[in-house]
Amino acid sequence: MERSAPVGVFDSGVGGLSVLAALRSRLPGERFIYYADTAHAPYGERGDAFVVDRTLQVAELLVREHGVKALVVACNTATAAAIHLLREAWPGMPIVGVEPALKPALALTRTGHVAVLATRGTLASRKFGVLVERLAGAAHTVRTVACDGLADAIEQADTESVRALCQRYIQEVGPLGDHVGQVDVVVLGCTHYPFAQVHLTAAAGGGVRFVETGEPVAKQTARLLAEAKLDQPEDTGGGLTLLSSGDGGNLHRAADRWLLIPQLVRQPHLQGAPMRHSGAA
């Protein structure tokens, strides 16, 4: 691995752009390759076998064909299902995953009640169960809401559906506020959800704080690159290439909306590695 090689960032769709924004802010000298597996999104309502298969194939593509020096799995579902397999496959490579930001949420709460909004796949994973068991003691209550359809609505930029789903899932959280028994901190447990925060905030009203994972992931990536002596100086210039396994239109439009990048290498369509088998949908 060479210091000048790019960092690979991967998600099932556009959600990982929220992590990418934090990465580019902290590591302005790095070149990034962002891969959206849009032909097979969303992952959150798929089975583990499907997610593992796609994660391994996309990682193989980024490592073998694009020579990335590090990999950021900017997808909670893929992290929960497959990051241990990626680390086994490439033990010498810095690999960073994402998980719901439960630890900072528990540090912020005043009522002792926090909620996690996430995909069904993330909430059902053993990794998430262990996280809750490890961090949430008797003094804390963690409420979980599986937000079916929200990531896909964000992916399709369907504003009305996003607004309606945000209202629905905030209602499912239960009482919100800063009084005893009310939820005062909400964890955005999917990298898509920060792009719906304006609607989530409107539905929740005042007195509720939202936390996400982008900045902690960027900080961890910077640390691992520095430890491996793979980090680029800030004045190197950096850059970004967008790749998609499907129609790249949504990805490019999302990048235009959510990223301020003067020089963007656009590849409208790059078919990823073919599916070896169908997996369990």
Catalytic residues: 75, 190
Query: In angstroms, rounded to a whole number, what is the distance separating the alpha carbons of residues 260 and 245?
Result: 23
Q: Give the chain's length.
A: 281
For residue 203, CA distances in Å to 145, 168, 198, 199 come to: 15, 9, 9, 6
How many helices, marked H, and strands, marked E, lie in the chain?
A: 11, 10
CA distance 47 to 38: 17
CA atoms of 146 and 152, how far apart (whole Å): 13
245 strand-pairing partners: none
For residue 69, report the phi and psi dihedrals to the nearest 5 degrees: -95, -15
